[in-house]
Amino acid sequence: MVKRTLRPPARPLISIAAVAVLVAAAAVAIVLLVGAGTNVPTITPPATIAVHAEFDPATPAFGDRIDAKIVIALNDHRVRPQTLRYSYGLAPLTELGRPRASRFVSGDLELVTLVAPVTCVTAPCVARKGVTTLTFPPVRATVIQTTGARQSAATRWPALPIRGRVLASDVASSSPKFQGSASPPAASYTVAPSTLVTLLDVLAAMFAVGAVGLVAWQTIVIVRRRPARGGDPLERALRLAREAEAQPVAHRRRALGLLARLLGRDGLSSAASDLAWSEHKPEPDELEALVSEIERRTPE
């Protein structure tokens, strides 16, 4: 039998190979970056100021959103960017919002970009033969040079063709085509109208009966709580006599005197008079006994 001896791996050779792979990858990356850098175009700053204007899309349809874009290039080495002023007009287009302005600076070049969202929905935008073309006043910009002189620049908007959305054949047709239905959708209810009417009638009747019952109940309560007024003078005198039992002697004498006058020639009249004007004080129990006797003899 032949025995094989295992040798340790050559570690220095593996390290050298790894370093070689890394160096090769770095070299490829450098070559790619240099090649890509040579293909990047450079923007040369203008002498002082330049203006460009365009529409996006260039051929919109009636009612489409249009971005009116203005780009102003400045040479920061020869002008003062903070003195830039510009003006433009986009009638008959309708603005959809406030214009968005942005700035980009690279070396001596400064780009000022203005994007205004607009649309064409007015009468001049209606095309009689499929397309109508709109023109606009030029865009004007001014800036102060570093020497103090004023520098101006202008550019024209490209002609803007607006495509119509309705063909001549559609308009000429005696029965125009409609994409939507003019008839209203069928009504739907959570509760049927007839059922709702019945429920409301029942509730109205219940409320009416409840109101009548409440009025009757309140009337009975008021009548029961109201003290009796007028009535038989003798009954009133008897009630006053009972109330005088808990009052001073003078009130008792007056109550007894009133009973004596109302009883007239009745035998109890003299008893009431004697008790009222007797020398001793009429006691409550005496007054109670007389009143009870008068009530017993008086027919209801």
* Residues contacting 146, CB < 8 A, separation 6+: 77, 78, 79, 80
Beta carbons within 10 angstroms of residue 103's beta carbon: 12
Residuewise pLDDT in 10s, the chain (300 residues): 333 333 444 455 455 555 455 545 554 444 444 444 434 345 788 999 999 999 999 999 999 999 999 999 999 999 999 999 999 999 999 999 999 999 999 989 999 999 999 999 998 888 777 789 999 999 999 999 999 999 999 999 999 999 888 766 666 666 666 667 777 888 888 888 889 999 999 999 999 999 999 999 988 888 877 655 545 788 888 888 888 888 888 888 888 888 888 887 677 777 888 788 877 888 888 888 888 888 787 755
Lookup: tokens for 239: 């009630």
How far is C-alpha 36 from the chain's CA centre?
55
DSSP-derived secondary structure letter, 124: G
The pLDDT score that the predictor gives to residue 4 is 38
Rounded distance between C-alpha atoms, residue 70 and residue 5, angstroms: 81
DSSP-derived secondary structure letter, 253: H
The pLDDT score that the predictor gives to residue 282 is 82
User: Per-residue DSSP letters for 177-230?
Assistant: --SS--SPPPP--SS-HHHHHHHHHHHHHHHHHHHHHHHHHHHHHHHHHSPP-S
* Amino acid in the structure at residue 250: A
Nearest by Cα to 251 from 267, 266, 259: 259
**Domain ranges in the chain?**
49-167, 233-297
The CATH number of 49-167, from 3.50.50.60, 3.90.1300.10, 2.60.40.740, 2.40.10.10, is 2.60.40.740
* Residues contacting 181, CB < 8 A, separation 6+: none
The pLDDT score that the predictor gives to residue 9 is 45
Report pTM.
0.46
The pLDDT score that the predictor gives to residue 166 is 73
The pLDDT score that the predictor gives to residue 168 is 65
Nearest by Cα to 78 from 42, 52, 109, 114: 109
Q: How far is CA 161 from CA 92, 96, 99, 128, in A?
A: 13, 19, 22, 13
Beta carbons within 10 angstroms of residue 74's beta carbon: 27
* Amino acid in the structure at residue 52: H
The pLDDT score that the predictor gives to residue 139 is 96
